[in-house]
Amino acid sequence: MRVAINCRSFLNKKYTGIGRYAHNLVNTLSQIDPQNEYLLYVQKKLFDTKRKTPVFTQKNFSVKIDRFNRGLQETLGAIDIYHSPSPDSLPIEKAKIVVTVHDLIYKAFPQSHTQSTIEITDRHIHEAVLKASKIICCSQSTMDDLERYFSVDKSKICMVHQGVDKNIFYPLDSEQRQKAKKVIEEKGISDPFIFFVGTIEPRKNLNNLIRAFFFLKEKKQFNGKLVIAGMSGWMNESIYYFVDHLKLKNDVVFLGYLTDEELRYLYNLAEVFVFPSLYEGFGFPIVEAFSCGAAVITSNVSSCPEIAGGAALTVDPMDPRAIADAMAQTIGDQRLKENLQQKARVRAKDFSFLKTAEETLKVYGEVYHSKG
């Protein structure tokens, strides 16, 4: 098979969930499949230094750079399968198409997008439903949403969970923990802390997390900090205002985008990792936290309970008192905390990019041998 994969989502030096998925998928395929030929599509102008070109030494992997906006077909030539790791335009003829759909946020939570983004995403998913031979959904929740919002042939869709890179996210030994403490102290965090990771935007439900943290402090159930890591998204001004309004400016720390190493340190040293998102297609931070052996609290909606699989406390994300109670319970009960940490490490074994790549390769084979 000649398989082309669009690498757009991980060309920037900083990338989030979709980029993490696509990069790890391509990287793992390069390790497990020496047979098929892979063409990696990169759209990058001649003097573009902001985007990095993927480098793979395997002979069956080649990077095809579109420097002059010639388009997919002209750049790639003859291919058997084209995989778009997220919904996008599909100007491809004479090739079977695979598209990964990560979420239907724009349908389930439209207030989290601009009108133009909603229109573009809707057009791309309609095109995927029409043109794709197979649509990979990253969770059962996303698959259910796709069937709910679109008239799609059930035989066309399948579910492949995403993974976690256990070379990056793992429990630290005692020596590594000491190093981690020093790195975190350099960021001004010496107290015990509750941790959150995600783009700073309304869908991540930070207002309710901050309110829950306020309740915790008000009852004197925790004397540490709330540490929030993630890139700044849109419509987030109210979040910073809310921190000021509740007089928590000295207790809530915004760290911005972190390196993988810094994330690993914070997952490991957190009293508890709290992820009360209103909607997730998969929820990478849950699995990353599990892989580091963290005690986790997450939402009981969308894909969060599916990914948690009983290894986390799940709460109503719209109830800040319930979030506060779960945090107080975990922090105050060492036996519960250790039980959650143990469950986390076990649950993390269910997620690997090796499994993701193997199941995706199987999808390529099915599509390649299918008629039509």
Quote the pTM value: 0.93
What would the pLDDT profile of 329-370 be if each residue is shown by its tens digit? 999 999 999 999 999 999 999 999 999 999 999 999 999 999
Write down the mean pLDDT value for the chain. 94
- Helix ranges, 201-254 (H): 206-218, 237-245
What would the pLDDT profile of 96-105 be if each residue is shown by its tens digit? 999 999 999 9
Closest by CA to 203, choosing from 266, 112, 268, 287, is: 112
pLDDT for the residue 234: 60
Domain boundaries, the chain: 2-163+353-369, 174-348
Is the pLDDT reported for residue 3 higher than 60? yes
Closest by CA to 89, choosing from 51, 126, 142, is: 126
pLDDT for the residue 233: 61
CATH H superfamily, domain 2-163+353-369: Glycogen Phosphorylase B; (3.40.50.2000)
pLDDT for the residue 193: 98
What is residue 84's DSSP assignment? E
Residues 6+ apart with CB under 8 A from 295: 271, 272, 273, 312, 330, 336, 337, 340, 341, 344
CATH H superfamily, domain 174-348: Glycogen Phosphorylase B; (3.40.50.2000)
- Give me the mean pLDDT over the 280-290 stretch: 96
What would the pLDDT profile of 46-77 be if each residue is shown by its tens digit? 888 788 888 888 999 999 999 988 999 999 99
Residue type, 332: G
Is the pLDDT reported for residue 120 higher than 90? yes
Is the pLDDT reported for residue 236 higher than 70? no
- Give me the mean pLDDT over the 189-215 stretch: 93
**Alpha-carbon dihedral sign for residues 107, 109, 111, 114:** negative
The CA-CA-CA angle for residues 190, 191, 193, to 5°, reads 115
Greater pLDDT, 294 or 203: 294
pLDDT for the residue 51: 85
